[in-house]
Structure 1
Amino acid sequence: MLFQHATLADGRTRDVRVEGEQIAAVDADLTPADDERVVDATDRLLLPGAIDAHVHFRQPGYEHKETWETGSRSAAAGGVTTVVDQPNTSPPTTSGEAFDEKAAFAEQSLVDWGINGGVTGEWDPDSLFSRPLFALGEVFLADSTGNMGIEADLFADAVARAAEEDVVVTVHAEDATLFDQSAKERAADDYDAWSAYRAAEAEAAAVERALAVGGDSAAQIHIAHTSTPEGADLAHDAGATCEVTPHHLFLSRDDYDELGTKGRMNPPLRSEERRAGMVDRLVDGTIDVVATDHAPHTETEKDAGIWDAPSGVPGVETMLPLLLEEARNGTLSHERVRDVTAANVAEIFDLPRKGSVEVGNDADLVLVDPEASREIRGDELHSNCGWTPFEGRQGVFPELTLVRGDVAYERDGDGGESFGDAAGQNVRQ
């Protein structure tokens, strides 16, 4: 396949040739071969496929919410060519046996993938680290709201072992001892109570603790879904890395009236001032990565009071389109979008053949018309859950997504769509 006259993220116009699974040439003027598919990429942006370092594809255990097939179709349609699945499935990925069970389901994926191993009182580090593990995470530091929460001593032991294995530690940083218990007295239809309960101060405190333990062990700490400027600044100043979700960039406590319990997630939505602060830090480079924390639930499950509804929102299909819309509006450069969705992720998690449009890299490529903005509609997305917290907002969606040279997703000029085969691979294999 040959992309002719494509615009790269840095503004250069280049022809890009794909042979087999790799990028074979990037040049100003390439001549098509006789049997080569030629894509006229004039006025189109050609990006490296996005790497979503934080998804919950729910399988095994919660297939009614999402599966590897539906989640990866959603990813491909949104320009995501690699995902990293988190361990809190059923069973949780805390042993080699559980890893192998999940990896078998991941063979249904259209996009490349990695699997994070988790830490609980039942984890089996020897069998986990004998697998092609992507990272150690999501480690819920002092989070009392799930079966992945761990105590300080176990966290320190896990971080030390991860440092020995040269594995990144992905931390969910909320200190449950600082949650505002008085907020629980608020009514079930007072949706802002969730943000009041899981107070912003709990994040900064947990980030500080995680960084201190990581420093003692010389471990590489990555703070997941940072939701406050304070947390992002702490990570950045300590030389750690951090990610922000699209919902913490584009939604705030001001949106609860419209979202209701569809706006409940962990960490929760923050104030409009803090949301704007996160955008500023994304622009100036304080934040390293945008990752979705794609955590779908059905609308029926979400249709409950704020204290009973499950936490989490879908996002893998809308991350890149939302960021490209910000680039269209002038808030971000295309280079910055490339870095926070691909290049930085590949560097942090040691994926040397991904994250950039360079000769010899995997041909994970996304072609978009950077001016083709359209309304986001949940019933047009491909996640099993069928809804989005970004309903009615604008996004710039891909026309074509390649995973290692194969078409994973394509949209024609009439709006028709087609998907490729389940050919995703474990990036650690």
Structure 2
Amino acid sequence: MKTTLIKNATLLNEGIRQQSDLLIDAGRIARIAPTIEAPAGADIVDASGKLLIPGMIDDQVHFREPGLTQKGSMATESRAAVAGGITSFMEMPNVNPQTTNIDALEAKYQRAAEVSVANYAFYLGATNDNLEQIKNLDPQAACGIKIFMGASTGNMLVDNKDTLEAIFANAPVPIATHCEDTPMIDANEEAARAKFGDAVPMKLHGEIRSREACIKSSRMAIELAKKHGARLHVLHITTAEELALFEANKSLDSLKDANITAEACVHHLFFSDGDYDTLGSQIKCNPSVKTERDRQAILDAVKRDVIDIIATDHAPHTWEEKQNTYFKAPSGLPLVQHALQSLFEHYHDGNLSLETIVQKTSHAVAERFNLKERGYLREGYHADLVLVDLDKPYTVSKDNLLYKCNWSPFEGRTFRSTIASTWVGGVRVFDGSTATSDPVGQRLQFDR
């Protein structure tokens, strides 16, 4: 492993910007100082005019392995992730076979060790009948328990009230929930089919996967968490009304100790229902992209710390699958390669500070999930770093996409910032144009 000296960077960490050098040695941040002499044989990177931040830790991705690798794989999607400045990911259990027992969980860790360019952890999925697996889970074995409180993924919809109560009462790790009320969505789908048949317009997705379904389910999750003292993290908030539920439960300053936290995703911060006319199924996702009023409210909630974390919910499908009619086109979109760049657009527009972006994508994730020695630019911590050129435009095109599905809802868009380099565990895995395929990612460890 090479020693690397990054010179003349603008470091942004824990709300403080400073001009500094940073030395990487043995995969760790060895020293941060205004001036550092280069050790013999060190690689030197001149970062003048560029921003150096901790790598994004994405707490919600679907990399499709095992069983769905025609859409993506740990190898392809982790490579796209590091090209986008994401150095660690937490991956979801709705694969084939589903990650609902310890053996399946460990099989994914073994596969990631063979192929992942980024650091990794995995959720154990909850079902109506795997309560004992959850109770006996080693807190080091999974980043969290994923509960689909609204879903149609095999048997992963947990709708048995007694089971939900028991999971919230006994989960040894944070619970991450997908909150939508399935009976309400089913009724909306039936009404839409009665009116339009199979030709339901994509722009109705936000009404079918409705705000009422989200609000009802999120309220239930929060009530269960409060009743049982569970550590609850509600994923991908999409409505203005849900935000009040979290604002009322902001009682602790430390995310490490907080019981109830909320997340927004980059696409819900970027797109609104006006984009269905041009992008159609490309932005069909669950929960749905909703109104411009909702988008603005979520953006404001990020600024006010009502939203704690920003993630992607990266969920690739093949282009052919996405060309189907409403009921057949799957929900989900690929996002990891351009997530940070989309957030920097909010900075350029004056809507988010750089400090807020780093807090929500790195520091807060490390705190919420009790990650060990990651998420900050600190001496002794793992050297998971991203160098950003805030003033170099970057145009998304099919020939620079790294997703296996080879499409993006951002295709043709020019971002005002560029990811200049990414390091994972001290290894430069992306140099601004080329991403390595070397499996340098490490298993995430937890202080639990």
TM-score range for the pair, normalised by the shorter chain length: over 0.9
Kindly state the Cα deviation for residue 178 of structure 1 after the two structures are TM-superposed: 2.6
Which structure 2 residues correspond to residues 40-189 of structure 1 after superposition, within 5 A? 40-107=46-113, 108-123=115-130, 125-126=132-133, 129-130=137-138, 132-144=140-152, 146-151=154-159, 152-162=161-171, 165=172, 167-179=173-185, 180=188, 181-187=190-196, 188-189=199-200
Q: Is the 8 A contact 1:263 1:269 kept in 2?
A: yes
Q: Deviations over 1:55-109 (max 9, x none)?
A: 0000001000010000100111000000000010011110011112222221210
Partner of 1:192: 203
Choose 327-336 or 353-362, whichever is displaced more: 327-336
* Number of equivalenced pairs: 422
Q: Structure 2 length as normaliser, TM-score?
A: 0.90
Question: Distance in 1 between the 2:301 and 2:354 partners?
Answer: 16
Task: Deviation per CA, 1:126-182: give whole Å up to 9, x if none.
Answer: 4761473333332111435653101222122112111xx2x1100001112333342
CA contact (8 A) 1:322 1:394 kept: no
1:380 pairs with 400, 412, 416, which one? 400
1:29: Cα distance to partner?
A: 1.3
- How far apart are 1:253 and its partner, in Å? 1.1
Which AA in structure 2 matches 1:226?
Answer: I
Greater Cα shift, 177-186 or 216-225: 177-186
Q: Is the contact between residue 54 and residue 86 of structure 1 (CA under 8 Å) also seen in structure 2?
A: yes
Identical-residue share of aligned pairs (%): 33
Deviation of 1:418 (Å): 4.0
**Partner-residue secondary structure (3-state), 1:281:** helix
Q: How does 1:311-322 map to 2 (within 5 A)?
A: 311-322=331-342
**Corresponding residue number in structure 2 for 1:410:** 431
Residue in 2 aligned with 1:287?
307
* Residue of structure 2 aligned with 1:6, choices 6, 9, 18: 9
Matching residue of 1:230? 241
* Separation in structure 2 between the aligned mates of residue 262 and residue 147 of structure 1, nearest angstrom: 26
Aligned residues of 1:94 and 1:124 also touching (Cα < 8 A): no
* Alpha-carbon separation, structure 1, partners of 2:69 and 2:106: 17
- What RMSD, in angstroms, separates the aligned Cα atoms of the two structures? 1.7
Contact 1:406 1:420 survives alignment (8 Å): no
Cα distance, 1:389–1:92 mapped onto 2, change above 3 Å? same
Deviation at 1:283, TM superposition (A): 2.1
Deviations 1:224-277 (A, max 9, x none): 011112223312322421111111111111111111212211001101111111
**Structure 1 residues 275-303: Cα deviation after superposition (integer angstroms, max 9, x where no partner):** 11111112222211111000000000111
Q: Map Cα deviations across residues 340-397 of structure 1 (whole Å, 9 max, x no partner).
A: 1101111101114111111111100001111112222244221111111122333323
Q: Which residue of 2 is the match for residue 427 of structure 1?
A: 444
User: Is 1:275 matched with 2:286?
Assistant: no
CA distance in 2, matches of 1:349, 1:340: 13
- Structure 2: how far apart are the matches of 1:72 and 1:249? 23
Unaligned runs of 5+ in 2: 251-259
How far apart are residue 124 of structure 1 and its match? 5.7
How many Å separate the matches in 2 of 1:378 and 1:120? Answer: 38
Question: CA 1:186–1:288 in structure 2 vs 1: closer, same or farther (change >3 Å)?
Answer: farther
Q: 1:378 to 1:185 in 2, by over 3 A?
A: farther
Aligned AA for 1:8? L
User: CA 1:160–1:420 in structure 2 vs 1: closer, same or farther (change >3 Å)?
Assistant: same
One-letter code aligned to 2:118: V
Q: Secondary structure at the match of 1:3?
A: strand
Counterpart position of 2:230: 219
- 2:377 corresponds, among 330, 340, 357, to 357
**For residues 333-372 of structure 1, what are the structure 2 equivalents within 5 Å?**
333-372=353-392
- For residues 234 and 294 of structure 1, what CA distance do their matches in structure 2 show? 25
Q: Secondary structure at the match of 2:22?
A: strand
User: Which secondary structure state, in structure 2, belongs to the residue aligned with residue 2 of structure 1?
Assistant: strand
The gaps in structure 1 that reach 5 residues or longer are none
> Partners in 2 of 1:283 and 1:130 — Cα distance?
35
Indicate yes or no: 2:214 matched with 1:203. Answer: yes
Report how far residue 122 of structure 1 moved. Answer: 3.8
Secondary structure of the equivalent of 1:135? Answer: coil
Secondary structure of 2:233's aligned partner: strand
Select between 74-83 and 269-278 the one with higher mean Cα deviation. 269-278
Q: Give how far 1:334 is off.
A: 1.1
Q: How far 1:5 sits from its partner (Å)? A: 1.1
> Which whole-Å CA distance do the structure 1 matches of 2:435 and 2:86 have between them?
16
Q: Give the Cα separation in 2 of the matches to 1:262 and 1:68.
A: 22
Tell me which amino acid in the other structure corresponds to 2:436.
F
Give the counterpart letter for 2:128 in structure 1: G
CA contact (8 A) 1:66 1:296 kept: yes
Bigger drift between 47-56 and 276-285 goes to 276-285
What is the alpha-carbon distance in structure 2 between the residues aligned to residue 184 and residue 235 of structure 1?
34
